[in-house]
Amino acid sequence: MRTLIYKDLLHPGIDGDGQVLWPLPDDGFSWIEPSSERDLRRAPELEKLLKLGQWIDDRVDYADLTPVQWLCFRIHGRLLRSYTKGTDTFIHMRQLDWRKTVFASIRDGPHECQGPGCLEHTWTEATCFNGTFVGQATTLLVYAALGEDIEWLTPSRGLSLPDEAWGLLHAERQRQMVFSGGNTHFRPPSYHPDTNIWKD
């Protein structure tokens, strides 16, 4: 299975009151928790997760849509890449999120746009390496060593990395382990249990 599609009665990522259901980190980077990492390791062929809203067109094969086409359907989607060497696994997930547009008015000040046409998209990132968070700086260095752009749109699993990139990931994990006192399941000070994310 390469694509997992699930349906929601509401517009993807937005509840009936227009609130964001899936949290969006301010800096664009979040942590894939160990429980989620285990689930992703158990599904080594899974590359895309799509959350469809209430406006589903039965004539569309959503599994075949490209991430660029997701924008037309306002799909909340996730793309997965994993890099593996022996027992080491680095997982990078890119998430297409939607949020309400905020307009600034001279008279009224900032306010949210109302209506279905008032959503804007953004890509956010989530990472993990053997159960620990990989920050934005290290992730950028890993992709530089790989010779690729961090903003990829082609998912894949079981990829390889150059030794330099593995060295960066091990150094980052060691830094996290020192910071946490060796606890692989530690939750950093800025960890938010209601969102399962923490910031670099």
pLDDT of residue 121 exceeding 70, the answer is yes
Q: Is residue 72 part of a domain?
A: yes
Rounded-to-integer distance, Cα 99 and Cα 122, Å: 8
Query: Residue 187 CB: number of other CB atoms within 10 A?
Result: 14
Identity of residue 42: R
Rounded-to-integer distance, Cα 191 and Cα 54, Å: 32
Q: Is residue 19 part of a domain?
A: yes
Mean pLDDT computed over 115-122: 68
Q: Is residue 149 part of a domain?
A: yes
**Lowest-pLDDT range, 4-8, 27-31, 101-105?**
101-105
Domain that holds residue 123: 3-180
Mean pLDDT computed over 87-110: 73
Q: Is residue 24 part of a domain?
A: yes
Under the banding of pLDDT at 50, 70 and 90, the label for residue 112 is low
Q: Is residue 198 part of a domain?
A: no
Q: Is residue 124 part of a domain?
A: yes
The Cα-based distances of 104 to 26, 101, 122 in angstroms read 19, 10, 19
Q: Is residue 185 part of a domain?
A: no
For 104-164, what is the HEC assignment?
EECCCEEEECCCCCCEEEEEEEEEEECCECCCHHHHHHHHHHHCCCCCCCCCEEEECCCHH
Q: Is 4 helix (H, G, I), strand (E, B) or coil?
A: strand
Rounded-to-integer distance, Cα 126 and Cα 145, Å: 19
Mean pLDDT computed over 166-191: 72
pLDDT of 55 reads: 64
- Looking up tokens 């946490």, which residue turns up? 180
pLDDT of 184 reads: 55
Domain count, the chain: 1
Mean pLDDT computed over 82-99: 91
The Cα-based distances of 7 to 78, 83, 88 in angstroms read 14, 29, 33
pLDDT of residue 199 exceeding 80, the answer is no
Under the banding of pLDDT at 50, 70 and 90, the label for residue 200 is very low
Tokens of 162: 């150059």
What number of CA atoms fall less than 13 Å from residue 124's CA on the CB side?
Answer: 20
Q: Is residue 80 part of a domain?
A: yes
- Looking up tokens 């900032």, which residue turns up? 110
pTM: 0.74
